[in-house]
Amino acid sequence: MVEKEPRTGGNSAKASSGINGAWTDTQKAQGITDSVGDFEQDTLKSGRGLSNSTLVERLAQQSAQSVAWLQSHFSLDLDVISQLGGHSAPRTHRRPDTADGRPQPVGWGIVSTLTARLSEQPRFRLVGEAQVIELVQEYTGAHVSVRGVVYKTADGKHHELRASAVVLATGGFAGDGGAADGLLRKHAPHLAQLPATNGKFATGDGIKLGMAVGAGVVGLEHVQVHPTGFVSRADPSARTKFLAAEALRGAGGILLNGRGERFVNELDTRDNVTAAISSACSSADTRAGFPDTDATGATAFLVLSQAAADAFGHGALGFYEKMHLMDRVNGLPELAAALRVPLATLTKTLSAHDDARSSGSADKFGKHVFPQPALNADQKGLYFWAVITPSIHYTMGGLRFDDKARVLHADSSLPIPGLFAAGEVTGGLHGANRLAGNSLLECVVFGREAGRQAALAALKTIKDGKL
Best CA proximity match to 254, nearest among 393, 372, 117: 372
**Greatest Cα-to-Cα distance within the chain, rounded to the nearest angstrom:** 79
Residue type, 248: L
155 SS3 class: coil
Q: Which of 95, 222, 249, 259 is catalytic?
A: 249
Q: What is the CA radius of gyration of the chain?
A: 23
Neighbours of 33 (CB within 10 A): 10
Active site residue 368: no
Please, are residues 94 and 247 in contact by the beta-carbon 8 Å criterion? yes
Q: Which of 91, 95, 222, 226 is catalytic?
A: 226
Best CA proximity match to 424, nearest among 232, 201, 231, 237: 201
Active site residue 249: yes
Q: Which residues contact 431 (CB under 8 A, 6 or more apart)?
A: 44, 46, 47, 48, 49, 50, 51, 52, 219, 222, 396
* DSSP letter for each residue of 276-288: HHHHHS-STTT--
Strand-pair category, 398-400 with 426-427: parallel
45, with CB counted inside 10 A (0-12, 13-18, 19+), is: middle
Report, as residue numbers or ranges, the catalytic residues.
226, 249
